[in-house]
Every structure is written in C-alpha cells, then in structure tokens.
Structure 1
C-alpha cells in the first residue's frame, strides 16, 4: 500500500518542484522554446479550472477538491488495492488533485508552464503542468481498467 501512496507523493513532489522552479526562474508570460514551435515552457497562471473555467471560484475548488480527495482515498481502499492498474490510476489522480490544490491554497492560482502545439491539426493545446498531466494519464488508465475489467467479466460469463 505504501507503494501506491509513494506514487501520489512523487507526483506532488515533482509537480511542486517544477512549479517552484518556474516561479523562481521565469517571468510571468516568459516563453522558452524547447522543440520550437511544438513544445515550450511558458510561465502562466490559471485562477480557474481546466482551460480557465470558473475563474475566481476558489471556494468551489476547495470544496470539490476535498470531496474528490476523500472519494479517491475511499475508493482506493475499497477497490483500488484489488487491481494494480486501478490503484496506480487512483494515486496519479490523487497526486494531481493535491498538486493543484496546494497551488490554489498557497498562491490563489495554479502555475502552468508546459505549452504544446499539436502540428497535425495545428492545435495550440492549453498550457498545463505536472499535476494536470498526472490527472490526464490517470483518466486514460482508468478507462483502460474499465475496458480490461469488462473483458474479464465477459470471459467469466462465457
């Protein structure tokens, strides 16, 4: 069980370290090309949720995050420990949620800094951070878990 919580702690630590480095070493709005024009560091702040939605509604984020964190921990202890993929997914979700929650508590905004341009469709993806990436990966892994779990159930029935 400590292995799983270590994943969440690693996400939180890496998220907070990278955000601290961005805040200390880059001016707001500063852009550093990494793989020009596709990947860059871009010092940005978000006072809302994904894509800036619900800007200025910090009280809502506090309540939702606390409920979500409690639900993730509960679900991990009731279901997540039974399946490694689900357990890892839930801990990535927990780490991502707490990482952005720390920003909201301490800064009143979330530090975002990864800018990606998707060349095939020329889409400038919303700027994100390590916590956001962990949340996205977690959702993908949970979806994979659901697909694999359904296949297992179908095999048992046949």
Structure 2
C-alpha cells in the first residue's frame, strides 16, 4: 500500500539521504584537513595550539583509529570496507533521525580513513592514514576518528535508551506502522452505527 504523505515510510528516503549527506561532508572535511596537515606540518614535529591541551603532530599511521592495530593495515582495510558496506545497507532502512546522524558520522569516518588506505603510500589497500591531532595522554588522531568515536557514543546512548534504527522504541507500541485511519473510514463507521434497522431486521410481534 502506498504510504501517505508524512508517514514514516515517506521519511525513509530522506533519512537515507541524510546519512549519505553527512558521510560525504565528513569525508571531504577529513581529507581537506589531512591535506592541510601534510602541507603545514613537519613530520614528527609537534606544534602547540592550546598549550599542552591540544597539539598538532603529523604522523602516518598503519593501524586503526588512535594507532591501534599498527602493522595490520591489509586486514584493517578489508574489515573497514565490510563495515562501510553494512552501514550503507543499514542506511537504506533507517527511519530515526538520531540514528541517521550516527550512521552518517560512522560512515564518513570509516570511508575517510579508507581513502587513505586505498590511495596513499606505500601501496593500494596498504596505505598509511594521516593523523595530526593530539591531546594529553591520548593517541594521535584525525577528523575521521572523531566521526567514528562520536558515532559510537551516540549509538551506545540510543541503544541504552531503547531507540531502534527503524524509528521504534523498546517497550513502546509501534503506532508508526499502523495504517492511518482516514476521515472516510470514520464517517463509514459512524454511519453504520447510526443506520436504522430495516423491516427485515425487526422481529414482528407474535413470532
């Protein structure tokens, strides 16, 4: 049955486009900042921005986010590629606005680092990721990592509060999927209830 305007079914394409739009913006932001870091910073030489609170420190990371899994670039590339495909598949079904934002950030962060792995030295699929942001007692990271971390926190919060990607919530009745009653349906019901009985419906005296 074709969805009425304004129902959750009509919102699904918009939510999918929102996921892809956020991801695209985050990928561009990630790649632009990485290009800037390579041009403005010297490898291995930190630059203070806000005292010791925030420093710029250019490195090339062969591992995962926050320099985890260093030396496993090929495996990480395969895993990140699979995860990105799964995120896109989930984006086709998402109806929740917060989930769409979270998936967009997660997809943007994953693909942002995948661009480095596929197109940077030393080889396609084995490329090292550009990291340049550093906080005290924290691994060096980049904008893509910020997207992944923010998305992970948001997804955890949504899961704890019982919100599902399809727009439903744990323990709540799923009214979103019920077909909306039209005015015509209400009029028909009222008419049937108020309609007088015919002579055939009446019981004649003595019968």
TM-score by length of 1: 0.86
Unaligned runs of 5+ in 2: 1-15, 121-126, 164-168, 174-207
Aligned to 1:109: 128
Structure of higher CA gyration radius: 2
Would the aligned equivalents of 2:67 and 2:139 in 1 still touch at CA under 8 Å? no
| Candidates 139, 156, 167, aligned match of 1:143 | 156
Equivalent-residue separation in structure 2 for 1:92 and 1:50 (angstroms): 14
CA RMSD of aligned residues (A): 1.9
> What CA deviation, in whole Å up to 9, does each residue of 1:28-56 have, x standing for no partner?
01211111011111111111113433323
Would the aligned equivalents of 2:77 and 2:114 in 1 still touch at CA under 8 Å? yes
SS of alignment partner, residue 5 of structure 1: helix
Say whether residues 1:153 and 2:170 are aligned partners. yes
Closer, same or farther: CA 53–4 of 1 in aligned 2, 3 Å: closer
Equivalent-residue separation in structure 2 for 1:6 and 1:76 (angstroms): 11
Say whether residues 1:59 and 2:55 are aligned partners. no
Aligned to 1:38: 53
Aligned to 1:121: none
Equivalent-residue separation in structure 2 for 1:114 and 1:53 (angstroms): 15
Task: Write 1 or 2 for the structure with the bigger share of helix.
Answer: 1
SS of alignment partner, residue 44 of structure 2: coil
Task: Write 1 or 2 for the structure with the bigger share of strand.
Answer: 1
TM-score by length of 2: 0.67
Closer, same or farther: CA 35–132 of 1 in aligned 2, 3 Å: same
Closer, same or farther: CA 40–87 of 1 in aligned 2, 3 Å: same
Would the aligned equivalents of 2:26 and 2:112 in 1 still touch at CA under 8 Å? yes
Say whether residues 1:134 and 2:147 are aligned partners. yes
